[in-house]
Chains A and B, each alone.
Chain A
Amino acid sequence: MNKIVEKKHFSEKVVQLIVEAPMIAHSRRPGHFVIVICDERGERIPLTVADADEARGTITLVVQAVGESTRAICAKEPGDFLHNVVGPLGRATDIRNYGTVVCCGGGVGVAPLLPILKAMKAAGNKVISILAARTKDLIILEDDVREHSDEVIIMTDDGSYGEKGLVTAGLENVIGREHVDLVCTIGPAVMMKFVSLLTKKYNVPTICSLNTVMVDGTGMCGACRVTVDGKMRFVCVDGPEFNAHLVDFDEMITRLRG
């Protein structure tokens, strides 16, 4: 049982929870995720860790209510408990000084992107962050991202904030204007697919973080399998990050819809 100590609404459907999990707070690194079971008869849901406070023994989760289980998690209040939280799972991001790194986050994908861009900045990279969402209200964690980025570009589909257009438009602009060494992208599968197609065209190395269906999250069930470079890979133990140019996004999108 893990106690929720703080809760913040980012939007109607997106909630930030700060949860007691001392061992995970100690072990987690950027790129890791956890599995959460909301209630006794709940489902195992993979969620990326947006931040952690080791001294306080807490981790930060950002959850979007999309189905029954995520709705139940979002309905929890401070003082309530999550039935189980296990992690950190997956491989941590390979943080190095690459040079210029562009971090593209879509929707709640910005939450797991935050610790990565933070670490990339701390490692000496020039960090350009592109935050994208359908509309202004869905842009999250902008201040935190600004604090750890050299430049922040906001893109909204409806033009209600920042520039009007998709994340790819913002990214193509940056690539056109300066040399980019690495792109990190986290967001909806469709978005990552198009980011990947774009950077492939310009030959910019790109890593994506995949959020597939999982059950155990430790390599046992194979529900999270994806095809990367023609080979079967398990997101939970081989990922969640992969070379985006090698990921079969179409297959992944079909499986997510299933």
Chain B
Amino acid sequence: MSTISPREAQWREELRKARSAKERTATPRVKMPELDPAYRITCNEEVNRGLSREQAVTEATRCLDCPDPQCITGCPVGINIPGFIKNIERGCFGEAAIVLKETSALPAVCGRVCPQERQCESKCIYNKMRKEPVAIGYLERFAADNARLSGESSQPGCAAPNGIKIAVVGSGPASLSFAGDMARRGFEVQVFEALHEIGGVLKYGIPEFRLPNEVVDVEIRALQAMGVKFITDCVIGKTLVYNDLVEMGFRGVFVASGAGLPRFMGIPGENFVGVMSSNEYLTRVNLMGAGRPGWATPVIQGKRVAVVGGGNTAMDSCRTAKRMGAEEVYIVYRRSEAEMPARVEEVRHAKEEGITFLTLHNPVEYLADENGRVRAMRLQRMELGEPDASGRRSPVPVEGDIVEVPVDEVIVSVGVSPNPLIPNSVEGLEVTRRGTLAVDDDTLCTSIPMLYAGGDIVRGGATVILAMGDGRKAAAAMASKLI
């Protein structure tokens, strides 16, 4: 897509000349202002406070506006990163937000939850200079927040309506990104959400202290302003089936129904009362308001809580448990901290908040009291062996070394399997051996001609930004088929 801020623009040339590279690289990377750990575990307030204008402009000045910017190659949606950063440097924050919106439907979300350290920031030229990379994620968040809070419209224009109806299944990041791209191309987009809230994992999964719901709602309202319609409480594959959508005149369908069934480990005692999936725990607290006065949904509020797993969802769960009043919270992870899939920042935040990390420990059994409530876990001590298929050193049990730790709540966060609702309900829809939808790599089209799919229903558990990238890719492919 074209950009309003190309590198050849005169203002960018002038900006590049305004300061020497030496001057730019002499500035240290900005630190994100954060809430104090002792305070933040008492509430749900967002931990990262965002950069001030001065901090943002100074950080933007560090960016060298490279002739061949590698950061863009690290971004799954190909954001014009120097383009938006240079707009921040020159003080045009609104323009910066528009550049973000050219390629990303959810910059305020991505600026908060993307693993930038593994994507754009890992490709930054500063790494080669053995310096900390430009804080692209913080700047993205700054530009998006600034646009939101100032009320300036950062919406890129939409093409004239083409009258073609498109259905979207699910309202998580892949769907929102797809819906935005299609609406901008002039399509009439209708999103069907199974839950009673729009936003998918952004609402039920990621906690308020990491991604406030209001941030998501603003992005949803922006899509509504572009003409995207949302229907909640509608399960595609159940309330309506694929053929109903075709009969209703939808000429293309994008399925992004998300990560489905939570995985458990299959160890004894896993069905005791007090053992639950992170999906269940986080949904109860984030979506259903459990633990807040006036909300009907209950949740077990354990005093000694173990969270099994080492991903971002595990970090979200353990930090939530702390905020729900747990006295002792453990992360139980079978490899070492170096192999943890969670973002470095999440791990650091969890540790600051007093979470105990039991790395190189693997649950082998849960024990219950006479009422079937979990009272302890038995953990097998592990050590690292040879690298496995994932390239990470594989965990090997230390024979006979088992410890018993008392707990009254266990949150299992070891991944998800694909949800069977869509695969089961569309005849002729091909699935992979893992149960995910089989798609063409380039177009994300499934075995049904006008049925496209992306996000976790295809990937089987990935990140917000990869899901969004899928949404963009599918939108481009579907649009070129239809117009």
Contacts and interface: CB of A to CB of B under 8 A. Distances in A.
Contacts of B289: 41
Interface string A137-167: 0000000000000000000000000000000
A237 B373 contact: no
Nearest to A258: B273
B456 to A, nearest CB: 11
A220 B279 contact: yes
22 contacts: A23-B234, A23-B239, A68-B296, A86-B235, A87-B239, A89-B238, A216-B283, A218-B194, A218-B419, A218-B421, A220-B261, A221-B279, A221-B280, A222-B261, A222-B277, A225-B271, A254-B273, A254-B371, A257-B273, A257-B371, A258-B274, A258-B372
B348 interface: no
Interface of A: 23-24, 27, 37-39, 41-44, 68-69, 72, 83-89, 215-216, 218-223, 225, 227, 232, 234, 237, 251, 254-255, 257-258
Given A39-B296, A220-B261, 13 more contacts: A27-B241, A41-B296, A72-B296, A86-B233, A216-B283, A218-B194, A219-B419, A220-B204, A221-B277, A222-B262, A254-B272, A254-B273, A254-B371
A88 B239 contact: yes
Contacts of A38: 296
Interface of A, secondary structure class, is: mixed
B421 A215 contact: no
Interface in B252-290: 258-262, 264, 266, 271-274, 276-277, 279-280, 283-284, 288-289
A215 B283 contact: yes
A27 B272 CA distance: 35
Nearest to B270: A232
Contact of B196 (A84, A89, A237): A84
B398 interface: no
Interface string B338-363: 00000000000000000000000000
Given A218-B421, A237-B420, A41 B295 contact: yes
A190 B298 CA distance: 24
Contacts of A41: 289, 294-296
B195 interface: yes
A219 B420 contact: yes
B196 A86 contact: yes
A222 B264 contact: yes
Nearest to B420: A237
Contact of B271 (A37, A218, A219, A227): A227
Contact of A222 (B258, B266, B280, B420): B280
Contacts of A222: 261-262, 264, 276-277, 279-280
Nearest to A91: B424
Contact of B239 (A27, A225, A234, A258): A27
B290 to A, nearest CB: 9
Nearest to A238: B420
Which of A43, A85, A88, A215 has the most chain B CB within a 10 Å cutoff? A215
Nearest to A42: B296
Interface string B300-330: 0000000000000000000000000000000
A221 B273 contact: no
B426 interface: no
A36 B3 CA distance: 46
Nearest to B271: A251
A27 B240 contact: yes
Which of B259, B262, B272, B274 has the most chain A CB within a 10 Å cutoff? B262
A196 B467 CA distance: 45
Given A86-B196, A220-B279, A237 B372 contact: no
B373 A220 contact: no
A86 B233 CA distance: 5
Given A84-B232, A219-B421, A255 B271 contact: yes
Contacts of B261: 219-220, 222, 234, 237
B288 A44 contact: yes
B162 interface: no
B297 interface: yes
A257 B371 CA distance: 9
Contacts of B295: 41
A42 B271 CA distance: 26
Contacts of A68: 296
